[in-house]
Structure 1
């Protein structure tokens, strides 16, 4: 699993379309046996004593300054609205990944608790949309670009959090662990993961009518910035074409604000050379401004899962996804379970097709998604011992299957139940947890 760009093109030299296609294929798809696993866990940060109150920026800055001295194995970054993200190092096993991130999260929570703050696992900020915490030219340009399409971009930047599972691209050869199958599977299992782990039914203090409002935000942002390429044909070729046809977010400069062009694709930029010819550095940057549900970065980054409740809720989507992709038997079972769902895409790319929309709105109340989820979670549970998972991990997946998936529920249902009846006891669950 690697983020290295590869290639020998001078990063300061103008590119041709052929060079872009070659570079994207080399950067984004690195095939080979699946050996590594990673996870990126994003969290909202709330006041311990007043979770519905905005956290003052100076309190966040003080807490994050204290975290910089914490001995972490994971990379720690801050999102535009002040959300906190831990990105694991590539791990050789599920057990190694869970152990390393759990230890890091324990250290982070201890530092935040001293500052009167806590991590919160929800896909969207339920009470209010925070002001932008980070004031950088990248986020100025991103916000200006996304604002042209409506408010969804600002909500996404400032008020959303996720669990992103990172998997190796897979073998060059065909088969359950081949990269073409894994790319296809990631997009077909994606709606099942959206539905099963939906955990964002509120925004600005009100139910939105969606169980995964976070996924709805990505849909609203639009297919050019947040969509996937067609799944037919060679994945690296399809992705390279998508990258070329995607809109340029900004043209960076040494000084002053970055230019935010309107309706300029990277292909058009290469062809016209205006306002200046794009370079490999511009291409590398352009790749970071695209937010598909599955982002190829040398490995596959699955981005469709809402942040999960509880201190250890993130472990379940990590374990289930790893089992469905890295165990050949589970991968074949999941492939057969989700293949019939393809008929509901109506030929449209993820996540802008009816299947993904239904998953975000209704979760596992959708009968076909419920059926597929039960098969996938059961296959994952059977596979976990073969991947060396311990009883703590398998027990967490078993409990989730019993509590939610088998019953056609998801964590968002708990949030809404608690909102309707604040006195209702939901064991281990709170709106703020």
Structure 2
């Protein structure tokens, strides 16, 4: 027979009551609900600046920025001064805007009315030369077939000479109020307040240069296909003429005419086909020298050279020694014709001469250089950059004329 012994342990209830849980849990009457214990963690709440100071929000910020308001507030006089200048600036801007609007309105109305174009529409049958010197020269020379009107902008005491010349020739003087009216007639050129409506200046067509006798010489004009000899007289030892081949820039032609007339050349001849025609630009650039220097044209340059040389005229063509023709025989012939500029004056002492000038780009045509008696180059006094290989044709013409007449 076996026996089992059972050990029994007794626990005091007082001890059990003193045992506390590590985490305090909320009591819930709902079994199975998840219990959260993060609420037992200590939470640090932040305070606003005004809360730390024990003030309300408005009082805190008024106290903090009181010095800024005091600085910007200023005195009562400062406030009045600022308001005064503010009103002045506002008034000035308003006046400027009103003035701009008024000018814009007047400008639009001027073009809407089209009065300028109705009263001063360019006449295709007339030519309008402009500039003080050009207008005076045209009136004094009186070479043109007719003068229609003289337009003047803002006349003063210095206009008496021009008005007197115009009145003497029966030219009606018209005073315009706007400079724009003259701009329409001159294509916005520099007119200096003077525009003369007149007949275009037509150069005389000629066949050849005739025989000479001392200071007297003849030029055979083309009189509707017939040759008409016209007498001329020079103030030099022998007559000197200028021939232009292929000069198409009207400003260069005007400058050449001005230099030729001033330095003492007797006349100028141009090719009809490859040179710029006489125009108001040429007249303006020449400062009116087109009205005093005889200007002629030829239709057949080669024939002109041959027949004029037969009558004793010497042709001197400006060229560069460095330019070499691709044909060796022609190049050798041209090289043999060069002479120095110091020898030019002696040629004019022997007989009448013609200085031949070409364009800056192409120069004189080879056929005309072969027809010429001599070739000449302006010597360079020093070594220069090859980019600047030549002078302006008007400047070169002036230098060579001076050398010939020296």
TM-score by structure 1 length?
A: 0.22
Q: Which has the higher strand share?
A: 2
Structure whose alpha-carbon radius of gyration is higher = 2
Higher RCO (CA-CA < 8 Å; seq separation 6+): 1
